[in-house]
Amino acid sequence: MRSEHSPDQDELLIGLHHLLIDHFDDLPSFIPACLETGRQLLGLSTGIFSRITGSDYEVVDVLTPLEGVHRGDHFSLVDTYCNAVIQAGAPTAYHAVGEMADMQQHPVYIGLRLESYIGVPVYTTDGVFGTLNFSDLAPRSTPFGKREIRILEVMASMLGRLIEREQAQSLLFEREEMFEKGFRHAIVAKAIARPDGLIIDVNDAFCRLFGYPRDQLLGLTPADLTHPEDQHLTDQQYRELFSGTRDYFVAEKRYVTRQGTTIETQISVALVRNEEGAPGYIVFEGIDLTEKNRTVRELEQANQRLQLFARTDALTGLPNRRAFDEALERECARTQRTGETLSIIIIDLDYFKRINDRYGHGIGDEVLVKLADVLRSVVRRSDLAARLGGEEFVVLLPETTAAAGTRLAERLRLALHAVTWPGEPVTASFGVAEYDHESMSPKILLNLADEALYAAKAAGRDQVMKAEQ
């Protein structure tokens, strides 16, 4: 049986007006009032306010005649109609799910046979908090209208603002309560200042942080302790604090101790107003981040070194295949922009397996290291020599033609002859190819150089071959 309810504009506005007048200052009563108002205005039997955390769908509150849906229940988000709301980040409505072929296998339709549904996202400053949604077992005869969707969006917006306000008030209350109970002996540095910034009380942790006895801190201002470069860092936050546009702020800021040492801190600053609403005093909390930030910087430097190691061949110290591939992509892109030339040389040691089998892998490793040394000594600073893997190496030659690359390869080949190798003399085969930015990809360039390398091997090894292009 189809639902025929379709509220007119006056009904919607009157319902919203009563909701605002009666419940807007109280979130716990606003939520069920919101659900009941929505049910009445839309003529739908079920109203749910949900919270979405990752893939979890939590029923925060619900008004419904249905069994199996209760406050506090958790479901997988993908198994709800609300998943479409979250995916779209916008209102979603179905007036007759049974007529939608792509929805008839949906878990909600299979389990509850919900025919009509409308849901909107509830946003806070942190992003999507959850959804406000209404549904019914009966389909609607007509789709949901723009006014109905807009009214739900207004409700959801009010919910979001109330949630934000409650969270802010809760956080401020917790800070004040903690201050009252543990100000003097708290492990966090705390201070109280007049609205003009003059410090009127500090705890022991504050004294330890700044290195001053308590009596020398009283009468100072935070600006007297602030690092010169951070003097105006929080000016805007203080202006917003006093104007009433925010209740507190958190920031990272540097200060200078009595000993002249710079400390890095995270400060939390709240303005407490008197009964008339005028500024009463400022509460300051500071956490020393100096060691933590130093550790973070050291970790960042370590990560940079790890990134370097991830692009470096451990045996030879040359860039590895990953680093070469990235450089080749960059150079090909640059060549396409500028029209300059670009060539590569692929190098493969001759009979390397025989060296490993005859002298052992230790000698084989020495051979690879010596080859890397030869490459470093011969190639230009603008070139990139890398180890592709095994006994195969490559040289990337920006602004170089195949002819010039062939000459360099010949120099490398002859340089190998002059090396004193462990075990036995070592030679290599070379394949040279030039990049054509109008018709090639980096992969094709590599394939051409490989083909030239195979030709050098086939010609008897210890050869330089240029690709036919």
Q: What is the mean pLDDT, run by run of 10 residues, along the chain of 469 residues?
A: 50 52 68 88 93 95 91 94 94 94 92 94 93 94 90 89 87 73 82 93 93 94 94 93 91 94 93 90 92 80 69 89 91 90 95 92 94 93 91 94 95 95 93 91 94 95 91
Q: How far is CA 185 from CA 198, 214, 228, 285, in A?
A: 22, 13, 30, 13
The fold of the 183-292 domain, in CATH, is Beta-Lactamase (3.30.450)
Cα three-residue angle 139-141-147, rounded to 5 degrees = 100
Token readout for 396 is 């990337």
The 392-398 sheet, strands edge to edge: 384-389, 392-398, 342-349, 428-434, 464-466
Judge contact between 197 and 222, C-beta under 8 A.
yes
Q: How far is CA 365 from CA 9, 262, 368, 369, in A?
A: 83, 50, 5, 6
User: What pLDDT is attached to residue 295?
Assistant: 76
Token readout for 241 is 């604090």
Judge contact between 146 and 56, C-beta under 8 A.
no
Token readout for 62 is 């619900």
Judge contact between 426 and 436, C-beta under 8 A.
no
Indicate where the chain has its CATH 3.30.70.270 domain(s): 311-466
DSSP 260: S
CB-count exposure of residue 381 (10 Å: 0-12, 13-18, 19+)? exposed
- pTM of the complete model: 0.42
In 3D space, the residue among 380, 188, 353 whose CA is nearest the CA of residue 265 turns out to be: 188
- Could you identify the residue written with the tokens 């070139």? 383
In 3D space, the residue among 159, 112, 118, 119 whose CA is nearest the CA of residue 142 turns out to be: 118
Q: How far is CA 30 from CA 69, 149, 364, 432, in A?
A: 20, 19, 77, 75
Class of domain 9-165: alpha beta
Indicate where the chain has its CATH 3.30.450.20 domain(s): 183-292
> What phi and psi values does residue 109 have, to the nearest 5 degrees?
-70, -40
User: What pLDDT is attached to residue 410?
Assistant: 96
452: which residues sit within 8 A by CB, 6+ positions away? 346, 430, 431, 432, 433, 465, 466, 467
CB-count exposure of residue 140 (10 Å: 0-12, 13-18, 19+)? buried
User: What pLDDT is attached to residue 381?
Assistant: 87
Indicate where the chain has its CATH 3.30.450.40 domain(s): 9-165
In 3D space, the residue among 133, 140, 57 whose CA is nearest the CA of residue 100 turns out to be: 140
Q: Which helix (H) or strand (E) holds 43?
A: none
CATH number of 311-466: 3.30.70.270
Count CB atoms within 10 A of the CB of residue 461: 14
Judge contact between 49 and 60, C-beta under 8 A.
yes
Torsion sign, CA atoms 78, 80, 84, 90: negative
In 3D space, the residue among 246, 255, 239 whose CA is nearest the CA of residue 191 turns out to be: 255
User: What pLDDT is attached to residue 21?
Assistant: 47
Residue 122, beta-bridge partner list: 130
